[in-house]
């Protein structure tokens, strides 16, 4: 409905409306020197959780911090069927609300623009998509027909046999919201002649469950008293190699004769021709040996290892939003066909767990996870919270502490960790979200 600009304006307009609107955490450009920048979440009496996103720019890596953060309360309203949106605003405030809490991190590349749009717009897409299915969410088993009308007597049985629960509607809404947000970013970036993309990690607490939707290489983990629960997995050219290679197998023209779809342990050279070298094709999790032909000397579609892994020699992530215009440098090869904007959604049901006082959700961009593993973060979380039990700002302080640890200290011209390993050179953003007493006002 309407141009992307008007939709974004409308999302922002909606934010101002008391009780119904979406409080928006506006992303903004960070200063060009290293320093703290607290994420500014609109002060809302509805946002009951203390949250903190310290952000830091590291060691002159980029002029602008490409990470963006957002957090807000999302009020899901039952739609009166048949009414237009503008008419709906005229209806007096209804008591029929479902409330969700939302946190998200966006790690931009090729400029911060896509991350800024996403941080302003994704929660609006989520709100919209949830409202579209809200009639089904309030039932344990959603009805076959959203209207509740039963066309077949056995409709409830079909739904039950397929094990469709309210939770699946939320997952579907998140998947569709990411896709819509990606489309809007594409239109907006084209209209304003901007480039770039971003990863997206979004957490939604809704109806007693935590949903974590991830498209990119950020990460969310639950640090509980007795264990650590990963709530996301990373999507990179390495982890999605088979999907990417398969697409090139199905549509070889996408590579325009410039890339080889095979993976090799290193870039091949003339001396390798005629030799049998290690390789993998799209259908292989294992490795084989392949007699090298001249065509294998082309640059590999997926190449490099770990943080150096690249898709088409260009991108370090394989899922995210934006990048609609991105081409491989000096070619006509588009990157977007190989990217997915669909998140993987993980669900954590609080009803099945006894949440303790110091249990938290940690969300962070790759800048943190590049230098700290889950175990190290969990150790820091537990010891910090135990040592600062009386500090009312201890969750914010913990977030700062995590960023600080990953940023390291500048010694001569290098940023170093305490253990004298090299520190993260990337932007770092961290959310620390306490899980205890989450339903108290």
We find the least distance from the C-beta atom of residue 266 to a second copy, in angstroms, to be: 4
Stretch of 84-92, 119-127, 145-153, 356-364 contacting a second copy, by CB under 8 A = 145-153
Which of residues 277 and 417 has its CB atom nearest to a second copy in the complex?
A: 277
Query: Can you spell out the DSSP letters for 166-219?
Result: HHHHHHHHHHHHHHHHHHHHHHHHHHTT---EEEEEEEEEETTEEEEEEESS-E
DSSP state of 319: B
**Contact between 260 and 300 (Cβ < 8 Å):** yes
Structure tokens at 371: 């230098």
| Count of residues of this chain found to bind a second copy when the rule CB under 8 A is applied | 54
Q: Is 280 in the site for a second copy (CB under 8 A)?
A: yes
Q: Is 353 in the site for a second copy (CB under 8 A)?
A: no
Q: Is 140 in the site for a second copy (CB under 8 A)?
A: no
- Out of 83, 91, 93, 152, the only residue in the binding site for a second copy (CB under 8 A) is 152
Phi, psi for 380 (deg, rounded to 5) = -60, -45
**Contact between 419 and 58 (Cβ < 8 Å):** no
DSSP state of 337: G
Q: Is 358 in the site for a second copy (CB under 8 A)?
A: no
- Out of 43, 82, 86, 149, the only residue in the binding site for a second copy (CB under 8 A) is 149
Q: Is 173 in the site for a second copy (CB under 8 A)?
A: yes
Q: Is 345 in the site for a second copy (CB under 8 A)?
A: yes
Cβ neighbours of 395 (radius 10 Å): 22
How many angstroms separate the most distant Cα atoms in the chain?
76
We find the least distance from the C-beta atom of residue 90 to a second copy, in angstroms, to be: 24
Beta bridge partners of 321: 198
Which of residues 276 and 410 has its CB atom nearest to a second copy in the complex?
A: 276
Q: Is 248 in the site for a second copy (CB under 8 A)?
A: no
Q: Is 275 in the site for a second copy (CB under 8 A)?
A: yes
We find the least distance from the C-beta atom of residue 167 to a second copy, in angstroms, to be: 8
Structure tokens at 258: 């410039």
Q: Is 162 in the site for a second copy (CB under 8 A)?
A: yes
Per-residue x/- marks for a second copy, 178-197, CB under 8 A?
Answer: -x------------------
Query: Hey, CA dihedral for 362, 350, 176, 51, is it positive or negative?
Result: negative
We find the least distance from the C-beta atom of residue 231 to a second copy, in angstroms, to be: 15
Q: Which residues contact 245 (CB under 8 A, 6 or more apart)?
A: 261, 262, 263, 280, 281, 282, 301, 302
Q: How far is CA 153 from CA 144, 145, 157, 425, in A?
A: 11, 12, 9, 61
Stretch of 115-123, 263-271, 362-370, 403-411 contacting a second copy, by CB under 8 A = 263-271
Per-residue x/- marks for a second copy, 296-325, CB under 8 A?
Answer: ---------xx-------------------
Query: Can you spell out the DSSP letters for 363-416?
Result: EE-HHHHTT--HHHHHHHHHHHHHHTTT-TTHHHHHHHHHHHHHH-EEETTEEE
User: What residue ranges bind a second copy (CB under 8 A)?
Assistant: 129, 132-133, 136, 142, 144-147, 149, 151-152, 154-155, 158-159, 161-162, 164, 167-176, 179, 250, 265-266, 269, 271-272, 275-278, 280, 283-289, 305-306, 340, 342, 344-345
């Amino acid at each position: 409905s309407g141009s992307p600009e008007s939709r974004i304006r409308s999302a922002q307009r909606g934010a101002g409306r008391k009780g119904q609107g979406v409080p928006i955490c506006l992303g903004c450009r960070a200063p060009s020197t290293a320093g703290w920048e607290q994420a500014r979440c609109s002060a809302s009496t509805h946002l009951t959780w203390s949250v903190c996103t310290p952000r830091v720019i590291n060691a002159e890596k980029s002029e602008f911090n490409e990470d963006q953060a957002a957090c807000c309360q999302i009020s899901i309203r039952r739609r009166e069927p048949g009414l237009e949106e503008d008419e709906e605003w005229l209806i007096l405030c209804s008591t029929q609300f479902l409330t969700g809490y939302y946190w998200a991190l966006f790690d931009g590349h090729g400029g911060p623009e896509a991350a800024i749009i996403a941080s302003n717009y994704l929660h609006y897409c989520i709100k919209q998509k949830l409202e579209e299915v809200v009639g089904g969410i309030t039932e344990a088993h959603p009805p076959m027909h959203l209207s509740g009308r039963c066309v077949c007597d056995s409709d409830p049985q079909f739904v039950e046999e397929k094990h469709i629960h309210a939770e699946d509607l939320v997952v579907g809404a998140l998947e569709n919201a990411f896709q819509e947000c990606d489309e809007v970013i594409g239109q907006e970036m084209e209209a304003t002649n901007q480039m770039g993309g971003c990863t997206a990690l979004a957490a939604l607490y809704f109806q007693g469950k935590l949903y974590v939707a991830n498209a990119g290489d950020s990460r969310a983990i639950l640090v509980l008293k007795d264990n650590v629960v990963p709530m996301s997995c990373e999507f990179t050219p390495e982890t999605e190699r088979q999907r990417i290679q398969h697409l090139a197998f199905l549509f070889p023209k996408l590579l325009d004769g410039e890339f080889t779809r095979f993976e090799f342990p290193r870039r091949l050279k003339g001396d390798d021709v005629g030799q049998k070298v290690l390789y993998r094709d799209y259908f292989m999790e294992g490795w084989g040996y392949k007699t090298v032909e001249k065509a294998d000397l082309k640059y590999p579609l997926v190449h490099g290892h770990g943080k150096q892994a690249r898709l088409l020699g260009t991108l370090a992530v394989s899922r995210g939003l934006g990048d609609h215009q991105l081409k491989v440098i000096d070619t006509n090869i588009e990157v977007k066909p190989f990217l997915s904007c669909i998140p993987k959604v993980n669900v954590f049901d609080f009803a099945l767990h006894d949440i303790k006082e110091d249990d938290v959700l940690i969300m962070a961009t790759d800048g943190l996870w590049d230098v700290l593993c889950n175990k190290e973060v969990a150790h820091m979380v537990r010891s910090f919270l135990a040592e600062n039990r009386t500090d009312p700002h201890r969750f914010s302080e913990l977030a700062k502490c995590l960023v600080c640890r990953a940023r390291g200290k500048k010694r001569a011209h290098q940023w170093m960790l305490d253990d004298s390993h090299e520190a993260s050179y990337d932007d770092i953003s961290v959310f620390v979200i306490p899980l205890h007493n989450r339903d108290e006002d």
